[in-house]
Amino acid sequence: MNEDDRYVFIAEWYDPNAALQRRYQLLYYPKDASVEMYDVKNHRVFLRRTKYEALRKEDLYVGNKINVFSRHLHLVDYGDQYTARRLGSKKEKTLAMIKPDAVTKLGSIIEAILDTGFTITKAKMVKLSRAEAMDFYSEHQSKSFFNDLINFMTSGPIIAMEVIGDEAVASWRKLLGPTNSTVARSDSPESIRARFGTDGTKNAAHGSDSIASAARELEFFFPSSGGRGPKNTATFTKSTCCIIKPHAVSEGLTGKIINYILDGGFEIAALQMFTMEKANAEEFYEVYKGVVAEYPEIARHLRPRTIRAYFGKNKVKNAVHCTDLPEDAVLEVQYFFKILDN
């Protein structure tokens, strides 16, 4: 890394007080993890160069939403040719979908995705209706296996994810391995289909086969036009709310934490990735004002095998939030999967 490296992006922030979309030039200095911001319209400094270790170089790509001192900024463009050349030339988005037969292996598959260098930017557990599955797989409608494929894809929940990385379409398909899991076990034994798939249909996961297909398939699950796509799988009964906190997500701990949850005998009934505005976070945590925080250091002594003991760092960055009172569980699940999802 060059000591003089500086990356420049155009970022937008919605100002709720003025009901305006404000535009900034964001500069990031990897040498000391510092940022500065300039107000584009008013031609003035908005934030002087300040160290901000929560932001990483890996977070910087067009389309991402980042948090800088409690402001959610949307990176809409590169600010100069150097940044575009260094950070943007090979970045692609693709759809990674975990099929019904591998949902119980969700944690391990996410670990494999993150360990390969991908970033997961969107995620949602859904259960496709027959009409939705036929629409998604319409290109295979004339194939002999079409009905078996539709029956399988509607047999249980799936997880759709938007993943970003260098040459993501080809890289994700390489990680998946051959379509038939039996072939994958001989030709690519470390691949996802070799490890978690059964045959040519129950092959654990799906990946877009081209950039054009990726755009279409991502739009199906995560519409940019204001629609919702297939609905989530939340049932709001016999459930509790678990939130994997931002620091744990950015540290690549999502898969490990999900494995802990599944190994503990729990079933994940719904899953979705959210970017919370400050107002949402304050509203959600209103009932917890004045409550003593859960300290990971205490957890390490009293309950050394818990998620917070393993993955927590301090009283704020304690890896996960979980509902404290049984009567609050449904309300917290509804807040995310009904209110925020809408």
What is the set of active-site residues? 206, 321
Q: Which two tokens stand for residue 103?
A: 């949902």
Residue 130 annotated as part of some ligand binding site: no
Instruction: Tokens for 60, please give them.
Output: 């910087």
Q: Is 146 annotated as a binding residue?
A: no
173 is in an annotated binding site: yes
203 is in an annotated binding site: yes
Annotated binding site for ATP: 99, 145, 173, 179, 193, 203
Annotated binding site: 99, 145, 173, 179, 193, 203
